[in-house]
């Protein structure tokens, strides 16, 4: 699979930014004499107790010679002690000494304090989003080594989710497209109307959840007795690439079909290319385009439509 140069650049940019934020570029990690690799080795030894050097090398994916030199320095400084493995005399087993554990305790305390300061500068909601995004990165990068499993679930909105729909729509479209507060007002109106007078048998909303946090939404509302309207499809950046958008649209189509609608319609704008690709793959066809000025921008609005199969067929 070919990876877009822009995607590669984005990952490299994130890596440069994050390594600076967490201070791993300094000569010594958290103002100690240890490098990042040395600190990680101390962490593994502190959490595993006694371990074979070969297992340590595999766990950290380190060159055997490089690890051997670090362990030799640690031993010369009295941080570790070694001996033959109890399970295989051909292998070396290493463990922290009291001095080594004291050195690790300093590292651990300072690292925890650094993270505390980093997170304390942000609100609880932003911290939750940050941690959710980190978990998403970890899951995606570890995916080949994990068994097949759903990365997200779809559920009915819970108290507070409707507020999230308004907030995330407003924040994301402002950040990514420069839309002004009038878009937030529109989303708030749509959500308020849905909450005030929707028929549960013919109108529904869904939240996509990943890692215990909402990462997407969609609404299905009545446009006429025979036509359903898809509204407010949103996928948070932390969950893009997981198939969340396609799953939300498919859920909307399935519900509309079972509710007896004959077709589904939606309105979007041509700048929303990722959403338009989802609609095309779901069988929607573009039936109308018209320029307009909304949310502080010159846009081209689009109406998409799809015929639904009858449940009586």
Least confident of 19-33, 177-191, 281-295: 19-33
**What average pLDDT is seen over the chain?**
88
pLDDT at residue 228, as a whole number: 97
pLDDT at residue 254, as a whole number: 96
The structure tokens 């909304």 sit at 294
CB-CB contact of 95 with 85 (8 Å): no
Separation of CA 78 from chain center: 42
- Between residues 272 and 34, the one the model is more confident about: 272
Distance of alpha carbon 131 from alpha carbon 128, whole angstroms: 5
Most distant CA pair in the chain, distance: 81
131-160 pLDDT per residue, tens: 888 888 887 777 654 444 457 899 999 999
Best-predicted range by mean pLDDT (10-14, 21-25, 28-32, 90-94): 10-14
pLDDT at residue 26, as a whole number: 72
End-to-end Cα spacing for the chain: 40
Model pTM above 0.85:
no
Structure tokens at 127: 């911290």
pLDDT at residue 276, as a whole number: 94
Say yes or no to pLDDT of 92 above 80: no
- Between residues 5 and 229, the one the model is more confident about: 229
CB-CB contact of 248 with 233 (8 Å): yes
Q: Which helix (H) or strand (E) holds 99?
A: helix 98-120
Distance of alpha carbon 185 from alpha carbon 178, whole angstroms: 15
DSSP state of 87: S
The structure tokens 């108290």 sit at 159
Distance of alpha carbon 245 from alpha carbon 298, whole angstroms: 25
């Amino acid at each position: 699979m070919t990876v877009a140069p822009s995607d590669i650049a984005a990952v490299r940019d994130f890596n440069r930014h994050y390594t600076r934020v967490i201070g791993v570029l300094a000569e010594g990690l958290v103002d100690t004499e240890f490098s990042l690799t040395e600190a990680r080795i101390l962490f593994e030894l502190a959490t595993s107790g006694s371990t074979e050097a070969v297992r340590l090398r595999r766990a950290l994916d380190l060159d055997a010679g490089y690890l051997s030199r670090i362990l030799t320095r640690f031993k010369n400084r009295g941080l570790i002690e070694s001996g033959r493995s109890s399970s295989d005399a051909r292998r070396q087993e290493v463990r922290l000494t009291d001095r080594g554990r004291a050195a690790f305790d300093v590292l651990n305390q300072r690292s925890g304090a650094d993270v505390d300061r980093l997170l304390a500068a942000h609100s609880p909601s932003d911290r939750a989003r940050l941690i959710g995004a980190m978990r998403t990165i970890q899951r995606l990068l570890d995916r080949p080594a994990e068994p097949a499993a759903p990365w997200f679930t779809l559920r009915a909105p819970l108290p507070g989710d409707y507020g999230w729909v308004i907030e995330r729509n407003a924040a994301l479209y402002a950040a990514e497209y420069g839309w002004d507060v009038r878009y937030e007002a529109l989303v708030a109106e749509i959500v308020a109307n849905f909450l005030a007078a929707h028929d549960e048998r013919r109108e529904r909303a869904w939240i996509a959840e990943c890692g215990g946090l909402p990462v997407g939404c969609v609404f299905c509302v009545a446009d006429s007795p025979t036509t359903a309207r898809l509204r407010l499809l949103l996928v948070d950046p932390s969950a893009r690439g997981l198939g969340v958008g396609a799953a939300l649209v498919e859920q909307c189509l399935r519900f509309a079909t079972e509710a007896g609608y004959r077709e589904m319609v939606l309105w979007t704008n041509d700048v929303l290319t990722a959403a338009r690709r989802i609609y095309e793959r779901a069988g929607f066809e573009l039936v109308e385009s018209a320029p307009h000025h909304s949310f502080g921008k010159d846009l081209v609005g689009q109406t998409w439509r799809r015929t639904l199969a009858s449940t009586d067929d």
